[in-house]
Chains A and B, each alone.
Chain A
Amino acid sequence: MSPDILDESCVIWFGPQHVSAHGWAAKLTLVGDYIVECDPNAGYFHRSAEKCLEFRNFRQGSMILERICMMEAFLGEYPYIAAVEKIADLEVPERAKIMRTIMMEFNRIHSYQFWFGQFAGELGLFAMLLWPWVDREYSLDAFEQLTGSRHTVSYATPGGVKYDFTPKFLSKMDIALSRCRNRMPLFDDMLAGSPTFRLRAEGVGQYTAKQALKWGLSGPNIKACGIPMDLRKDDPDPNLAYDMIDWEVPTIHNEDHPGECDAFDRLHQRFKEIETSLDIIEKLLPLLPEGPIIDPKARGKANRLPEGEGYGRVEGARGITTVWLKTMEKAQTPWRAKIRGPCFASYYSLKHIVPGARFADFPAIFGSLDPYPGWWDR
């Protein structure tokens, strides 16, 4: 762009006290109706979770992590527990493995249900904002039945899980999942089947797979480009049950622009993710064996950890979520904990995706990337 175009530019702050920018701010430079520069700003939610983790012992740390992103609380807390288990060399009973996996997929479905509503709300349809959230209520009821809390489940603990499945929980989960499955055609009609939605989402916020890899995007945002990059398949955690069953990584292959994805593809990808998660839960439930849910020695082992480094990774609802832990000899608390949130990369990539888009497309772009401020501010 030539400098004289920028002379007529207008700077607009998108946030932090904005209706749909909840806790973040992007500085947009507009020329006419087009955005020429986007400067995302972070730090409005910064509570220094990494420093906080240095003062919590290994059973308390996951409470901090699940509060970073309430929508995928269990997926967020799990990498910390995986890292602790790796350092302490803990074995998890088979039953607990499958229960963890079921809970993770359930949490993932809940996260996408929330996201559908959020995205539709950002595109201006308030009916679709609340319809998926009604289904989400059933998922939350099931979480509450199992763990006692609706969002911050704090379900896993080093060496197993905290609460056993009860028949009441299983029936509530069945209600929630069947309702989710039954309402998928309706959401398909209201989102992907809506001509106005197609007008708003198609061709908006395109990027290629190569660019996405360079920016560090992961999860549905890169699977929509056709790359089946999924840690559940590629690098399954030994204490999860993903390798016990057969399942396929869902990807999108768009004929019009192979190797690229736009907002519509990312929505479609999340539809497929929900179907995969339902499928995984359906296949795992019959495999649930009888037995203990927690290794009885784990509590003592997790009190003091040997020196070591552990890297817990999990495929979250928004992408690769990892916690890197370093412990010193006989440590009660971690020496250093690094949280890698998936949205750190997707929020950063706004800087590259947004320029060239129309101002009205900005909500569609950031909505389709599914950013959650907790993940980059921590």
Chain B
Amino acid sequence: MGFVGNLGDIFRILKHVFRQVFRRPFTYFYPWEDRPYPETTRGRHIHVRETCTGCAQCVRACPVAAIHIDKEDKKFEKDCALTFDYTRCIFCGDCVRSCRFEALFHTPIVDISEGDREDLIYGPDKITTLDRDPLEWRGWRFR
């Protein structure tokens, strides 16, 4: 390369870095600004009890045993209560894929951190409601 070639390389690198200083940063202002999440995002689940049949396929599909099923707790004809343990869930999406009755979906809510470990276990009430936007998901309204 030689001395002059190295000098040329050094100045080219300095040029790249100098240009970078005046570019707009890539990162987001996180708490006030968030990236857009596509509809396919595998975030926390939403359980539609109106269409659930209590077939327990989601429970069998779960590789980490994060779903607890309670078949006694019926609100409608033949549904069941699901409890999601988000300390275990790995968001693989198999429960949603295994559901044939359109009763279990992922939502794009991914920031589900809590101060208390117990709060991450979403009981039957919490898993069927959404507490923030979007309150509507695939035609169902949750509140």
Contact = CB atoms under 8 A, between A and B. Distances in A.
Interface string B14-50: 0011001000001000000000011011100000000
B40 A152 contact: no
B31 to A, nearest CB: 19
Nearest to A61: B63
Interface in B85-113: 90-94, 97, 106
Which residue, A137, A154, A163, A194, has most C-beta atoms of chain B within 10 A? A154
Contact of A60 (B1, B12, B91, B94): B94
B10 A60 contact: no
A59 B62 CA distance: 10
A190 B17 CA distance: 9
Interface in A44-96: 56, 59-61, 63-64, 67
Nearest to A163: B40
Contacts of A148: 38, 40-42, 91, 93, 106
Interface stretch (A105-113, A139-147, A235-243, A370-378): A139-147
A159 to B, nearest CB: 13
A144 B40 contact: yes
Interface in A183-206: 186, 189-190, 193-195, 198
B41 A144 contact: yes
Given A59-B94, A63-B90, A193 B41 contact: no
A255 B106 CA distance: 55
Interface in A104-148: 127, 131, 134, 137, 144-148
A148 B9 CA distance: 42
Contacts of A59: 61, 94
A144 B6 CA distance: 42
Nearest to B108: A148
Interface string B56-97: 000001011000000000000000000000000011111001
A190 B94 contact: no
A168 interface: yes
B19 to A, nearest CB: 10
A64 B63 contact: yes
A60 B61 contact: yes
B97 A162 contact: yes
Contacts of B135: none
A152 B63 contact: no
A152 B90 contact: yes
Nearest to B63: A60
A298 to B, nearest CB: 13
A190 B16 contact: yes
Contacts of B20: 127, 131
B9 A154 contact: no
A211 interface: no
Contacts of B97: 162
Contacts of B1: 195, 198
Given A162-B93, A162-B97, 10 more contacts: A127-B20, A131-B20, A134-B26, A144-B41, A146-B40, A149-B42, A149-B92, A154-B93, A168-B38, A195-B6
